[in-house]
Structure 1
Amino acid sequence: GAGVLVLFACLSGFAPSAVRAVLMGLAGLVALVNGQKGQPLVILLAIATVMLIYNPLWIEDIGFQLSFLATLGLIVSAQPIGDRLDWLPTPLRNLIAVPLAATLWVLPLSLAIFGIFPVYGLLANVVANLPLVLLTVGGFISAMIGLLVPPVGSALAWLLYYPTAFLLWLIQAIGQLPAATIALGSLSWLQVVVLYGLIILVWLSPRWRRHWFLLFTLGITLVLVPFVLRQNTLFQATVLANTQVPTLVIQQPAGTVVINGGDAQGLTAFLAQEGINRIDWAVASDRQYRQQRGWRDIHRIAPIRQFTDVPTAKSDPAYREMLATLKVPYQALPLRQPVQLGQVKITVLRSDPAILALQMGSSRWLFVTDPSGDAAQTDWLAVTPVEPPQVLWWWGRKLTPRLFEIVKPRSVILSRNALEPAIANYLKQKQIPYFVVGETGEVRWQANGSLRANAPQNDGLI
């Protein structure tokens, strides 16, 4: 048994969560051989201490954190939860109590990191239990036989294809159910500490254990009240840094506005962290599928209520197909006529390549795209009267000081990975604060007109 556990640790690459499982398994085997009754909680805490002494940085590993919390939940909460479900048949009681105990202990940290609540998570754990057991046992058997007789082990592994395919189909089907996930936004660490305090209170205090429903209600309130207040009062805009196409997310009580959806993964991760479950107004600044291909995946996670683009811009067949299959209300953005939602107003000044004027409250932005790398946009702005904006948001290949001399922005956001030293020196000489999202991370505008970056540059504050 010890040999199998060590082999498993080697195959996993000694991931912290796998090391935890192996060490607990070895401790259980030692207790079994010596005829002793192990104390799982003591063993878990001792292993956590030893692992962190060996490598203190493991405490920052998400796998380490979630693995220990789930195991702690199984040790201290699975039996009490099962006892309260004594009205259910014993097999079903265990199927529910085990994942519920693990979920309760993992959920606060999971919400702090990912900001997503899996609505059908408990159901998925229950229905996936049987195929998981079959695959786990079958995988061990086929692996051990494969070490001795490889063709036989391979044949046994081939038989596991069908339960594996069934498990994948089952999880995908549950994940595609309506409202499969709810984005609640990333919890603050104060909320996380208080939630774990409530859980520990129920665990250690028999008196409070009798009032578990009151503490459970308090925990839900602690999560939902800040979420509701945030959604109904927040007014801010964020230029994302982890997307291939420049993307802006504007949050306001009247509805969320998103400009460009070329990177579904980066955008949906941000929406989850901010607790955004739908997009009220989606805007495509061009009509090229390569730049806007993420909208379908985004729509499946955060439904889009209204989609708009620049109809006079050139489009390709893939983009038109995506627009047809998106199946959401569509409206063309008129040239030089503002379209408004709440406190956000967007005006198309030029279509191809796009120049958009954004009005957010009393703050004016100018979004200039220049994918071709020529001077056409700068030349166009030189002969077109445009009111100097508070923020110039620029995306393109070639940038010259002439653009800043024409536009006269108070601050600049550059959606690119780096900035040429000559341009940086020019902006510093002119005392124009600037943010390069590839270097500073996402840039956030607040309703008071301030701009902040994750990794501040030029003090990171205007």
Structure 2
Amino acid sequence: MGGRAGFYLLVGSYLAGLVIAGWSWGWLLLGILAVIGGFLSFQLFWLPPWRVWIAAGLLAVFASPYLHLRTPLPGSKDISWLAPQHKITLLGTVTETLHQGEDFQSFYLRIEPSSQEGLASYTGTAFVRAPTQPALRPGSRVRLNGALYRPPGRTNPGQFAFDDYLRRQGVFAHIQARALVSLGKPDPDWLWMVRQRVLQVHQRALGTERGALMTSLVLGNGAVELPKSIQRRYTEAGLAHLLSASGAQVSLLLGTSLGLVARQSPRLKVGLAGATLVVYICLAGGSPAVLRAGVMGAVTLLGLARGHRAAPLSALLLAVGGLLIYNPLWITDLGFGYSFLATAGLVVTAPRLAKGLDFLPPMLATPLAVALAAGLWTLPLQLLHFGQLSPYAVPLNVLVVPAVEVLTLGGLATSILGFVRPELAWPGHVLLGWILGVLDSLVGWVNTLPGSLVYPGTLLPVQVVLLYSLLAASCWTRPWPLVGIAGVVLVAPLLLAPGDVSLSVLAGGGSEVLVIEDGRRTLVVNGGDVRACERVLLPHLQQRGRLHLSGVITTGTRETQTAGLATLLALSETDVLWDGADLPWQTSYRAVLEGLTRQGTTYRRLSPAMHVPLGSGVHISVLSTEPTVLLLRAPTQQVLLLGRLSPVEQEWFAQTYADSLGGTQVLWTSASHLNKRLLALPGLRNVIVSGRGLDAAAERELAGRNISYWTTARHGGLVWRTSGRDGQLTPTRL
């Protein structure tokens, strides 16, 4: 046991070093913990010896520089150094197709040296978004015309960073292709051809969507591109793991393979099962999650060949540690993380849960313990990245286990039969199609239930680290005291959060998207057009766990102001709509107002001198309603929400309300011009513009007055907080 504990400590230290690589002094903390553990080992003899603690400390400390050393950087002749270019012609070979749809296709292109002047020695790999024709596959050689850019970065707080994702793949260039020319037929890619054949077999029998779903259940979504609607449906129901090839498929495959040759010699059994495993990994695409399951399966087979059973936790840590030494960047791969954590839950926690559920029939207790364990171990990671969960996920996972096992094994069998001759798979497809239809209908029905998706908001990284520490500690101590500690960890940020008011000006093109937060009260101003509402505002509110809105204020009916209002009200719980839009109303806006009663939202019309309450000592004052101008007042600071006033309206407003604006530190607008009277406000420190920015004259005036100037087009989303004397403004991009 001592040697095994030392192995667990070494692997765990390396994993911890990779996880906290982004924290400036995280390596020092791990080093100190290793030193403390070494000293304690002289007193507590059940701990690993001090030599193991020293080795663990070194692994933890050097994991971070190793990760940075392995992070790809563009070479001196990478094509990305030429960006941006609006017209460029390039030759290259498709290395991987990412999406092929009705509107566009995307792929990775390995750039070839060109005879074109200035491009002779430039190479590298680029992400390409291109027209749908000609349809390409791996190995296709193409010539394209288009524009070359650097990959777009994060535009709003907490948003997915596409440039970071591509950088981890060794890709630093983004090409928007306008025209493609295929240069000959690519060499045969047998793995791609087999995957396509399997997909065609299932789609011919089950239809396009359900055929793709069946293929994903068998080979994972790395081998087939699923429609977005299916991915969203299963993700919201907590069944996204069914669509990814990982441990479940590998376990079923190995168990079936070994069962079919149970009476043969151990060498033959291991050989056939190992060959089956290798073929499956190749067909499934070799993603980090599949490789993790494959290595763990190989360790199990090796133990079987040697006549003893491999310890599941040792096999898991050996697989994960070995793969992360091979490629430490996989520590950021979500599929790999979910696969590892779910398996850890099955190995560590499920047996203890099953014992606690011994009052239930075994056929119910075991799958319930498995679902609970996997859910517990993956929940912190899910909340860290997405801030959402499905309350029905655990019972739904228990309910679908038999169907998924039948579909996976049946799908494998029909794939093999259909590959030989499609007619042979027809009887199996009749039964599997019915089961798949029931499963898909059940998932869709669960997503329509009240509270099917809850948005508690994202966790802090330190909360996630503490929660996983508690889960690990539950292996060696009684779990119930740890439940109380976990509850404290979850609610502590809410109790300890500073009482600052925050104003988030989100980047949504030219749309006006503002979110004001004070404690747990949330107020949205306008919300922007439909695209900005769906892609910017709602994801921001979901991630923050703030889909219950204290109110929505509208200041106009232009498309960039409130075209997305119907979507916002339908997908959030809004207490009050404060209407400041000028008459006459547009037909679409009037329809939204008429539907407020059905949605349980109270209607209030804004009037001059009205106060919209937020929190203690914080409110929004309505200065004017024709046009609508608001003033966010905090105890020591205030923000002028000017909106998009014309030059004439600004002149009138500045003359009329100058006495009310003396304490204004921040001014927000979506106009391209600012009146000099407003720029001359004595306390003004920051000007925030939604959109491209102000005209040259206004910019010179701001520079001359030493006023900080921010635009969402240049700096991304901006967050202003009432911390300190003058507040604190944080841009997404500098």
TM-score band, normalised by shorter chain = 0.7 to 0.9
Contact 1:381 1:406 in 2 (8 A): no
Of the three residues 569, 582, 591, the one matched with 1:312 is 582
Deviating more after overlay: 105-114 vs 308-317: 308-317
Q: Residue 667 of structure 2 corresponds to which residue in structure 1? A: 392
Q: Does 1:213 align with 2:490?
A: no
Q: Does 1:223 align with 2:487?
A: no
| Shift in Å, 1:87 | 0.4
Q: Residue 237 of structure 1 corresponds to which residue in structure 2? A: 502
Q: Residue 286 of structure 1 corresponds to which residue in structure 2? A: 556
| Shift in Å, 1:88 | 0.4
| Shift in Å, 1:42 | 1.9
Corresponding residue SS for 1:167:
helix
Task: Give CA-to-partner distance per residue, 1:361-418, whole Å, 9 cap, x none.
Answer: 44322223339xx75554554654342532111224x346858647674311122267
Q: Residue 384 of structure 2 corresponds to which residue in structure 1? A: 112
Of the three residues 405, 419, 425, the one matched with 1:147 is 419
Distance 1:284 1:6, change over 3 A: farther
Task: Give CA-to-partner distance per residue, 1:180-210, whole Å, 9 cap, x none.
Answer: 444443333332222222221221x2xx23x
* Counterparts of residues 139-178 of structure 1 (less than 5 Å): 139-150=411-422, 153=425, 160-178=432-450
CA distance in structure 2 between the partners assigned to 1:150 and 1:296 by the alignment: 48
CA distance in structure 2 between the partners assigned to 1:164 and 1:298 by the alignment: 34
Contact 2:503 2:720 in 1 (8 A): yes
Contact 1:24 1:47 in 2 (8 A): yes
Contact 1:238 1:442 in 2 (8 A): no
Contact 1:288 1:315 in 2 (8 A): no
CA distance in structure 1 between the partners assigned to 2:695 and 2:276 by the alignment: 55
| Shift in Å, 1:350 | 4.6
Distance 1:254 1:86, change over 3 A: closer
CA distance in structure 1 between the partners assigned to 2:337 and 2:707 by the alignment: 43
* Counterparts of residues 276-425 of structure 1 (less than 5 Å): 276-288=546-558, 291-292=561-562, 294-295=564-565, 298-299=568-569, 302-313=572-583, 315-326=585-596, 327-341=599-613, 342=615, 343-347=618-622, 349-351=624-626, 354-370=628-644, 375=647, 377-381=649-653, 384-386=656-658, 387=661, 389-396=664-671, 398-399=672-673, 405=679, 409-416=684-691
| RMSD of aligned alpha carbons | 3.5
Q: TM-score, normalised by structure 2?
A: 0.54
Deviating more after overlay: 76-85 vs 343-352: 343-352
| Shift in Å, 1:217 | 1.9
Contact 1:9 1:18 in 2 (8 A): yes
CA distance in structure 2 between the partners assigned to 1:11 and 1:447 by the alignment: 55
CA distance in structure 2 between the partners assigned to 1:357 and 1:432 by the alignment: 19
Of the three residues 505, 508, 515, the one matched with 1:249 is 515
Q: Residue 60 of structure 1 corresponds to which residue in structure 2? A: 332
CA distance in structure 1 between the partners assigned to 2:604 and 2:731 by the alignment: 34
Task: Give CA-to-partner distance per residue, 1:257-293, whole Å, 9 cap, x none.
Answer: 1223341453343334434351111123333567535
Distance 1:305 1:411, change over 3 A: same
Of the three residues 424, 434, 457, the one matched with 2:709 is 434
Contact 1:307 1:328 in 2 (8 A): no
Q: TM-score, normalised by structure 1?
A: 0.82
CA distance in structure 1 between the partners assigned to 2:537 and 2:685 by the alignment: 27
**Percentage of matched positions with identical amino acids:** 28
Distance 1:241 1:17, change over 3 A: farther
| Shift in Å, 1:318 | 3.3
Corresponding residue SS for 2:687:
strand
User: How many residues of Structure 1 are paired with residues of Structure 2 in the alignment?
Assistant: 446
Distance 1:385 1:298, change over 3 A: closer
Corresponding residue SS for 1:51:
helix
| Shift in Å, 1:163 | 3.9
State the one-letter code of the partner of 1:258: V
Distance 1:252 1:162, change over 3 A: farther
| Shift in Å, 1:253 | 4.2
Q: Residue 536 of structure 2 corresponds to which residue in structure 1? A: 266
CA distance in structure 1 between the partners assigned to 2:686 and 2:561 by the alignment: 26
Any gaps of 5 or more consecutive residues in structure 1?
458-462
| Shift in Å, 1:71 | 1.0
Corresponding residue SS for 1:92:
helix
Contact 1:12 1:18 in 2 (8 A): yes
Distance 1:215 1:145, change over 3 A: same
Contact 2:638 2:666 in 1 (8 A): yes
Contact 2:555 2:579 in 1 (8 A): yes
Task: Give CA-to-partner distance per residue, 1:148-168, whole Å, 9 cap, x none.
Answer: 224655885576555444434
Corresponding residue SS for 1:259:
strand
Contact 1:307 1:329 in 2 (8 A): yes
Task: Give CA-to-partner distance per residue, 1:38-58, whole Å, 9 cap, x none.
Answer: 332222222222222222211
Distance 1:152 1:328, change over 3 A: farther
Q: Residue 460 of structure 1 corresponds to which residue in structure 2? A: none
Corresponding residue SS for 1:256:
strand
Contact 2:345 2:373 in 1 (8 A): yes
Corresponding residue SS for 2:603:
strand
